[in-house]
Amino acid sequence: QLEFITPFQLYFNPDLIFRKFQIWRLITNFLFFGPLGFSFFFNMIFLYRYCRMLEEGSFRGRTADFVFMFLFGGFLMTISFGLFGLFASLFFLGQAFTIMLVYVWSRRNPYIRMNFFGLLNFQAPFLPWVLMGFSLLLGNSIIIDLLGIAVGHIYYFLEDVFPNQPGGKKLLLTPGFLKMVFDTPEEDPNYNPLPEDRPENQPRDQDQNHQQHPQ
């Protein structure tokens, strides 16, 4: 908006990424939501709201798994972008990433009732489709929404559905280095603190040690 940089420096371009080594485009194409306007604020609000609800809900205490979902979704979108972006006129994936988060949250909270601008009442799993219909009414292409829904469904299926099927197993395993960086290490159940570190051997408060008795 301040014209320090332009969208042409941010959009996904495989030729510039691999031949000119403009690696930042792999990230910046997810961060751009267009010029300031209704669509920009709409995407920012939804990104903040559902990212926060996922982090405080099904990913509570699992920061590494949360980050891995970001990386997995971003990787699938980037691959799809490279295959289909040239003829689908896709240049930025920020909206698709938001829809992916909305989709995962909605499938994990299927019984929550939603209200869209006071006009529609529906249950959470229909939210991504309502947003896609709203995008269509605004005259936007729904391809980016469909990409977000598809990637969100792949993650949800591999993480929540397939492992619970007969003969199924967990295929999405968070790398150990992410857990080492983002997760708090668990306490060793066999850890035996030194005698001076045990609570019963800690000095009491000064007020307890020097109680004053009435004369």
- What tens digit of pLDDT does each residue of 56-72 get? 988 988 899 999 999 99
Q: What is the pLDDT of residue 208?
A: 46
Q: What is the pLDDT of residue 79?
A: 81
The boundaries of the domain holding residue 69 are: 20-182
Provide the whole-model pTM: 0.75
Q: What is the pLDDT of residue 205?
A: 47
Number of separate domains in the chain: 1
The verdict on residue 101 lying in a domain is yes
- What tens digit of pLDDT does each residue of 7-25 get? 666 767 766 777 777 777 7
The verdict on residue 210 lying in a domain is no
Distance CA 43, CA 152 (A): 16
The verdict on residue 195 lying in a domain is no
Q: What is the pLDDT of residue 199?
A: 52
Positions in the chain whose pLDDT score sits under 50? 86-87, 202, 205-211, 214-215
